[in-house]
Amino acid sequence: MKIAFIGYGNVGAPLAAHLQNAGHAVTLAAADPGSTKLQAALARHSGLRALAPVDAVREAEAVFLATPFLAVESALAGVADGLAGKILVDCTNPVGPGLKHGLGNAESGSEMIQRLAPSARVVKAFTIYGFENFEDNAYPAYNVKPVMMLCGKDGAAKETVSGLARELGWEPLDVGGLEQALHLEHMTLLWVRMVRMGGASPNLVWAALRR
C-alpha cells in the first residue's frame, strides 16, 4: 500500500519505519526538506522518501496524520482536496492545559479533522499510548497482543487500518463510529496521566480478553 505521513516525530517516525519494514511504500510529507526532524525520520529506514505534502498525499492510498494537535489545521490546509476518498488515519490527541481535553469535550479531535477534510475517510487509530509503544509494542512474556482501539464511520476504511495494525503486531479492536474518538482521546489522557505524572512504566498497554 502507498502510505503518506503528515508528521514524523515521536509517533509518526517509528510508525512510518515499521510500515516500510512491513513492505509498504511510505512517503513523508515534507514541508521543510531541510528540517532535522525529517532527516532523523529518513535515517530510520533507507526505503523512506520525502515529497512535498501535496505530492505525497496525491500518491497515497492512506495518509497518517501524526502532527501535534495544534498543527493539525495548518497541516491539512494545503492538502485537504487531495484527501478526497482516501483513508486519513488520525493519530493525534488534543491535550489541553492541565492534561485536560484540548477541545473541552465539545467534540473529539477526530470529528474536527473530519470537518477540515470532509471528503476523507477518517479513522482514529494509533493513539491511547505514548510513543514508547509505537517504537516497540512487543510483550513476549504474554500470550496476547496489545490492543489497538480504533473508530470511524467508514467500515472498509476501518478494515484496512485494522489490517495495518495487525501487520505491526497489534490486536485491532473496532469500538464504533467516529463519535467514539472522544473516549479514545480520554484513554490517551488516562495513559499520559498514569505514566508521565503518576510514574507508571511507559511499557504499559491495554489488552482485549475474550471467552
User: In terms of CATH, what superfamily is 2-197?
Assistant: NAD(P)-binding Rossmann-like Domain (3.40.50.720)
Between CA 6 and CA 188, with CA 139 as vertex, the angle to 5 degrees is 45
Q: What is the 3-state secondary structure (H, E, C) of the chain?
A: CEEEEECCCCCHHHHHHHHHHCCCEEEEECCCCCCHHHHHHHHCCCCCEEECHHHHHHHCCEEEECCCHHHHHHHHHCCHHHHCCCEEEECCCCEEHHHEECCCCCCCHHHHHHHHCCCCEEEECCCCCCCHHHHCCCCCCCCCCCEEEEEECCHHHHHHHHHHHHHCCCEEEECCCHHHHHHHHHHHHHHHHHHHHCCCCCCCCCCCCCC
Between CA 17 and CA 206 the distance in angstroms is: 23
Domain assignments of the chain as residue spans, ordered by start: 2-197
The residues pairing with 172 across neighbouring beta strands, listed in sequence order, are 148
pLDDT in tens, the chain (211 residues): 999 999 999 999 999 999 999 999 999 999 999 999 999 999 999 999 999 999 999 999 999 999 999 999 999 999 999 999 999 999 999 999 999 999 999 999 999 999 999 999 999 999 999 999 999 999 999 999 999 999 999 999 999 999 999 999 999 999 999 999 999 999 999 999 999 999 999 999 999 999 8
**What CA–CA distance (Å, rounded) separates 79 from 135?**
27
Whether 22 contacts 48, CB under 8 Å? no
In this predicted structure, what is the pLDDT of residue 200? 98
